[in-house]
Amino acid sequence: MVAKKRKGRSGAAVLAALICLALSVLLAFIGVGLKYDRLEREAQNTESTHRINAFYYNHLTYKQQLLYDSILTGVEKRAEITEMLPYVYSNADFALVADYIRADHPELFYLDLGGMQMLSATHATRVELSYLYDIETTARMQNEISAAILRLTADIDPVDPANGGEFEAERLIHDRFVHSCTYASGDESGRSTVYSALVLGSADAYGYAGAMKLLLEEYDIYSILVFGETAEGDHVWNIVYADGKFYHLDALWNDADLDFAEDIVFHGYFNLSSEAISKDHTMRDGDIMPEAVDNGDYYLSRGLFIHNTMELDRIAYREILGAGYTGSEFIELYPDFDIDTGEFRDCIIGVIGRINGVQDDFIFKEIYRVYEAAEGSGAVTIQLYYDKKIEASTAAPEEDAIEADAEEKMTD
């Protein structure tokens, strides 16, 4: 009987110990839950931080910024998986952060954003990273991008307010890049990256806009990738901050690459206002985008804006004569009137005839072709044709002399 009593007390003790253990585990679990709930509340109540040259990052919540930074840190270390974050994220959070990394960091062409996976536990998150190339291949491609940027920016002087400021530096970078690249659909393998744009010389809209961002950064010119739509489908372009103002720049739509006229650089989509670009571009995140109030007046600043046929005669003479001395096949004009008239045609043909009659270094055919540079804009690019091009050894007159000659011919 005594032995049985002792055995009963021993069973009760074990049961009590188990209950205590269960309570301890439960309390610990509750404590952990309370800890993570506190961290969650703190993250939600913390203001997001601001980072220079990371426009989209600056529009994330603080908690989303932590996920953004953890991915960037993992990529920098070439990690396979990120450090653990003591927060839980929705699939929408993860998709937004990945999208914004793509927008802020086109230089991460080797990161497979679509291949990343979010690994979530009860109170924690990590991200499994994915890369398109191995470390050695990535390093080689990065070096090729650096060499391409150096080549494209060679001989472009640092920004100088006395020499056109950021506007002129942007124009030179834009023109040189557009000459070097042609459009390729993103469906083509690897054509949606800055590597394809800068090194391979062909890219889709994202490649163009990303390349412009990297090139402009070389001159400390701030730019943003803008995602949106046109009548042709999804599209990407830039907002640029030059000389204290925001402008829209669509390098791809300034790149003609027509079958019958390769390598025309238009400026119809160079530094436009938000109102002007909205005629045929719709921004996806328009509510967070900075407002571009003014047009950059590319054509006005270069003396190409034309109010009437008298100005057309003088400016066309100057531009066509200058083209002849450089061997260029294109000139740009911005007539602020209807050009679908015989008067416009007669003026251009008349100018070509007069130029052919006053010199014999080059001879134009008395025909031309007009391209509209932008939807709803008067800007045009005129293609010229030669019977005889100038010899490379022929010295061209100074620009002031060409201008003076145009003034003189207009009064003859």
154 and 267 part of one domain: yes
Copy the structure tokens of residue 247.
């402008």
Q: Which residues contact 43 (CB under 8 A, 6 or more apart)?
A: 62, 63, 66, 87
Considering its fold, how many domains does the chain have in total?
3
Lowest-pLDDT range of 13-17, 234-238, 289-293:
13-17
What is the chain's mean pLDDT, rounded? 88
Q: Which residues contact 334 (CB under 8 A, 6 or more apart)?
A: 299, 300, 304, 305, 306, 377, 378, 379, 380
270 and 304 part of one domain: no
Q: Is residue 385 pLDDT above 90, yes or no?
A: yes
Q: Residue 72 in contact with residue 194, Cβ under 8 Å?
A: no
Beta bridge partners of 42: none
CATH number of the domain that residue 142 is part of? 3.10.620
- End position of a domain, from candidates 296, 323, 355: 296
CA distance to 14, 18, 19, 286, per residue, from 8 (Å): 10, 16, 17, 75
106 and 143 part of one domain: no
| Confidence label for 256 from pLDDT (cuts 50, 70 and 90) | confident
157 and 290 part of one domain: yes
Sign of the torsion formed by the C-alpha atoms of 392, 393, 399 and 401: negative
3-state helix, strand, coil in the chain (%, to 5): 50, 20, 35
- Write down the pLDDT at residue 220: 95
- Write down the pLDDT at residue 121: 84
Position 18 in a domain: no
Average pLDDT over residues 394-404: 66
- Write down the pLDDT at residue 258: 59
Average pLDDT over residues 105-115: 96
- End position of a domain, from candidates 73, 95, 128: 128
- Write down the pLDDT at residue 402: 64
Copy the structure tokens of residue 255.
């790149």
292 and 309 part of one domain: no
Instruction: Look at 185 and 91; give whichever has higher pLDDT.
Output: 91
215 and 92 part of one domain: no
Give the best-scoring range by mean pLDDT among 12-21, 106-115, 296-305.
Answer: 106-115
| Rounded (5°) CA angle 267-185-96 | 90
Average pLDDT over residues 121-138: 94
* Rounded-to-integer distance, Cα 135 and Cα 198, Å: 20
Domain region containing 369? 300-411
Nearest C-alpha neighbor of 178 from the set 194, 159, 201: 201
| Confidence label for 1 from pLDDT (cuts 50, 70 and 90) | very low
- Write down the pLDDT at residue 158: 85
- End position of a domain, from candidates 109, 128, 147: 128
Question: What is the maximum span of the chain, computed from C-alpha positions, in angstroms?
Answer: 137
Average pLDDT over residues 75-79: 97
Position 37 in a domain: no
Instruction: Look at 44 and 282; give whichever has higher pLDDT.
Output: 282
- Write down the pLDDT at residue 288: 95
Average pLDDT over residues 89-102: 97
